[in-house]
């Protein structure tokens, strides 16, 4: 479990493999402190398992299902990635509950300067739109954000402050960029529970 509060930008050192699965090696700093093989780490919003460690990087295996559902298969050496270690139970929940289970890939459709920050509009897969509500939570490339508006595109918008732009990959994307989207897990659970209730009403 994560909070969507990115700790640092890592850099892809190497990618080996094919469409059936790859090994991703990531250069990092702070997130390596206390890290162990077998532990989880979020890479641009994708929960991966650390399988190798050295003093400057970690490696994770990415299976075909993850490559199909996320942007990780499009990464190249030198690309930046957002990194976050799992939540400890003695930590503050600064963002929202993020599982690292990406629901789909969205496309950035507009970027507009607003003071020191920017207004960013994103088109998610259509099936995810029902989980997005104004002022609700969403994770974009692993970054916990508030939905600023539901747009006519259709899609949603987020308002990004300078700090977020400086320390995450979101400040490096342009229009057409593809980003990992994870909707609020609470919305999905509520939908599932309501399906059960509605089923009882119709029987």
**CATH number for position 173:** 2.40.30.20
Q: End of a domain among 84, 112, 133?
A: 84
Tens digits of per-residue pLDDT, 160-201?
Answer: 999 999 999 999 999 999 999 999 888 887 888 887 666 555
Mean of pLDDT over the chain: 92
pLDDT band at 95 (very low <50, low <70, confident <90, very high): confident
Task: Give yes or no: residues 155 and 77 share one domain.
Answer: no
Task: Give yes or no: residues 79 and 116 share one domain.
Answer: no
The predicted pLDDT at position 159 comes to 97
Residue 198 lies in a domain: no
Task: Give yes or no: residues 124 and 56 share one domain.
Answer: no
The predicted pLDDT at position 61 comes to 97
Rounded average pLDDT over 139-149: 97
Task: Give yes or no: residues 80 and 131 share one domain.
Answer: no
Separation in Å, CA 69 to CA 11, 29, 180, 192: 21, 27, 9, 21
Range of the domain at 183: 104-190
Alpha carbons 59 and 53: distance in angstroms, whole number: 7
DSSP track, 11-66: EEEEEEEETTEEEEEEE-SGGGTT--TT-EEEETTEEEEEEEE-SSEEEEEEEHHH
Alpha carbons 140 and 143: distance in angstroms, whole number: 5
Task: Give yes or no: residues 136 and 74 share one domain.
Answer: no
Q: How many domains does the chain have?
A: 2
Residue 156 lies in a domain: yes
Separation in Å, CA 38 to CA 35, 52, 53, 161, 167: 9, 9, 10, 34, 26
Residue 145 lies in a domain: yes
Tens digits of per-residue pLDDT, 18-56?
Answer: 989 999 999 999 999 999 999 999 999 999 999 999 989
Task: Give yes or no: residues 47 and 122 share one domain.
Answer: no
Rounded average pLDDT over 137-146: 96
Task: Give yes or no: residues 69 and 32 share one domain.
Answer: yes
Q: Which residue has the higher pLDDT, 64 or 88?
A: 64
Residue 93 lies in a domain: no
Rounded average pLDDT over 106-129: 97
Burial tier of 114 (Cβ tally within 10 Å: 0-12, 13-18, 19+): exposed
Residue 177 lies in a domain: yes
Separation in Å, CA 51 to CA 19, 36, 132: 19, 9, 34
Residue 88 has pLDDT above 90, yes or no: no
Task: Give yes or no: residues 63 and 141 share one domain.
Answer: no
């Amino acid at each position: 479990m994560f909070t969507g509060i990115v700790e640092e930008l890592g850099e892809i050192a190497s990618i080996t493999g094919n469409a059936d699965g790859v090994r991703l090696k990531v250069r990092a700093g702070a997130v390596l402190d206390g890290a162990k093989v077998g532990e989880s780490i979020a890479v641009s919003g994708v929960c991966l398992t650390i399988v190798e460690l050295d003093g400057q990087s970690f490696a994770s295996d990415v299976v075909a299902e993850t490559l199909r559902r996320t942007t990780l298969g499009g990464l190249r050496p030198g690309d930046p990635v957002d990194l976050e270690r799992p939540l400890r139970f003695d930590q503050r929940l600064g963002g929202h509950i993020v599982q690292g289970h990406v629901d789909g890939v969205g496309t950035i459709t507009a970027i507009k300067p607003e003071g020191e920050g920017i207004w960013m509009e994103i088109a998610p897969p259509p099936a995810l739109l029902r989980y997005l509500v104004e002022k609700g939570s969403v994770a974009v490339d692993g970054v916990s954000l508030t939905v600023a508006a539901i747009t006519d595109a259709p899609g949603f918008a987020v308002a990004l402050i300078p700090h977020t732009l400086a320390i995450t990959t979101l400040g490096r994307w342009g229009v057409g960029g593809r980003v990992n989207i994870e909707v609020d897990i609470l919305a999905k659970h509520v939908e599932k529970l309501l399906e059960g209730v509605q089923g009882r009403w119709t029987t």
